[in-house]
Amino acid sequence: MKVTLLGTGTPLPSMQRFGTSTLIEAGGRRVLLDCGRGTVLRLSEIGIPIGSIDAVIFSHFHSDHYAGLPDLLMTGALPASWGGRQTQLRVSGPEGVRSVVEGLWTFTAADRKIRVADNEITEDCHQVAVTEFSEGVVFDECGLKITAIEVDHGEFVKPAFGFRVEFGGRVLVHSHDTRYSENLVRQAQGADVLIHEVAMARPETLERHSHTRTVLEHHITPREVGQVFDSVRPHLAILTHVVLMGPNPPLLEDMLAEMAETYRQPVMVAHDLMVIRLGKSISVCSAMVERG
Ligand SMILES: [Zn+2]
Ligand SMILES: [Zn+2]
């Protein structure tokens, strides 16, 4: 199983960290977990045809996790070596995904009208086969099994999910956005690789800025994420979606120091285009970037 972190960022617009998206390649399948800002650009950077994605599975509907979907749908349909999808795209997610997809059909109509008239694409290329899911198995094909784990991303983001991804006896768990979640800790047991979000602000910022407090109430603290890693004991612990809230945001080092109070094992900080291979061994490298 090959896992490429296409986007490891947050809503903050950044050229270094695009919106959350993770490419899972296993058993001849290509599945995206989330499709945040810039997903299409990252796929193209590593030479993956945008139209070759079999399915997109969403964790929840904050913009940094699904803003890239219209681009994936429309650009992936173009008859080029980097596009090429000739049929509908499969999309699944929590309750609400159906109305996202309905809106997408309207959003893409203007492009479709031109390209169908020009015989570039058929209407089918913009169709989406949509499935709403609750906790449990959401993808099971060719030995690749993906299970949605309900997490706790705050009272107005219900339900929100992390995912357990299994192939060839190896297990990767990705928390997606969540506060400390007992359910995630329980269902992440046995994970070889655990990828988890984290967020932090300085105490004085929290005191003065109510918006910072609101944001942090949706996320996990460094101390708590250390507890999650300590309870699951993965072979490889990775932090992603690192929220360091300003003004005067804490440094990454401050966050790692607080986490070290509860977890003393090695931890990696994700970057865009980090590749994790899970087979007989587990390895991490950066994706080969294609020129162009
Ligand atoms: Zn997010
Ligand atoms: Zn979120």
- pLDDT single digits (tens) 232-271: 999 999 999 999 998 899 999 999 999 999 999 999 999 9
How far, in Å, is the centroid of ligand 2 from the Cα of 62?
A: 5
Percent of the chain as helix, strand, coil, to the nearest 5? 30, 30, 40
Q: Which residue has the tokens 């929840």?
A: 60
Query: Which pLDDT score, from 0 to 100, does residue 290 have?
Result: 80
Instruction: Give the span between the Cα atoms of 126 and 118, in whole angstroms.
Output: 15
The Å distance, Cα 196 to ligand 1 centre, comes to 12
Ligand at minimal distance from the CA of 10 is 1
At residue 292, the pLDDT reads 57
Q: Please, are residues 276 and 44 in contact by the beta-carbon 8 Å criterion? A: no
Q: Is the confidence at residue 5, as pLDDT, over 80?
A: yes
* Cis peptide preceding 266, ω within 30 of 0: no
- 220-236: average pLDDT: 98
Question: Would strands 21-26 and 2-7 be described as parallel, antiparallel, or unpaired?
Answer: antiparallel
CA dist list (Å): 253 to 192, 215, 247, 258: 25, 21, 17, 9
Contact 240, 19 (CB under 8 A): no
From the CA of 151, the nearest ligand is 2
What kind of architecture, by CATH, is found in domain 2-286? 4-Layer Sandwich (3.60)
Any idea which ligand is nearest the CA of 9?
A: 1
- CA–centroid distance, 3 to ligand 2, in Å, is 21
CA of 153 to the centre of ligand 1 (A): 10
Q: Please give the distance, rounded to the nearest whole angstrom, from the Cα atom of residue 154 to the centre of ligand 2.
A: 9
Q: How far is CA 229 from CA 86, 101, 185, 210, 222, in A?
A: 42, 35, 8, 29, 11
Domain boundary assignment for the chain: 2-286
CA of 59 to the centre of ligand 2 (A): 9
Pair 146, 30: CB distance under 8 Å: no
**Ligand 2 centroid to 176 CA: how many Å?**
8
Query: Over 60: is that where the pLDDT of 69 sits?
Result: yes
Asked if pLDDT for residue 1 goes beyond 70, the answer is yes
Q: Are 155 and 161 in contact (CB under 8 A)?
A: no
Compute the distance from residue 275 Cα to the ligand 2 centre, in Å.
Answer: 23
Share of the chain above pLDDT 70, in %: 99
Strands 160-167, 170-174: parallel, antiparallel or unpaired by DSSP?
A: antiparallel
- Give the C-alpha distances (Å, rounded to integers) separating 231 from 37, 106, 145, 171, 196: 32, 46, 23, 16, 13
Q: Comparing C-alpha atoms, which of 37, 34, 16, 65 is closest to residue 218?
A: 65
pLDDT digits (tens, 9 = 90+) for 72-106: 999 999 999 999 999 999 999 999 999 999 999 99
Q: Please report which ligand is nearest the Cα atom of 21.
A: 1
Residue 291: what pLDDT? Answer: 62
Checking if the pLDDT of 19 tops 60, the result is yes
Q: Residues 80, 41, 122, 133: is their CA dihedral positive or negative?
A: positive
User: What positions carry a catalytic annotation?
Assistant: 64
Q: What are phi and psi of 166, to 5 degrees?
A: -125, 135
pLDDT computed for residue 255 by the predictor? 98
DSSP H stretches of helix in 159-251: 182-187, 203-208, 210-216, 222-232
Q: Of the ligands numbered here, which is closest to the C-alpha atom of 158? A: 2
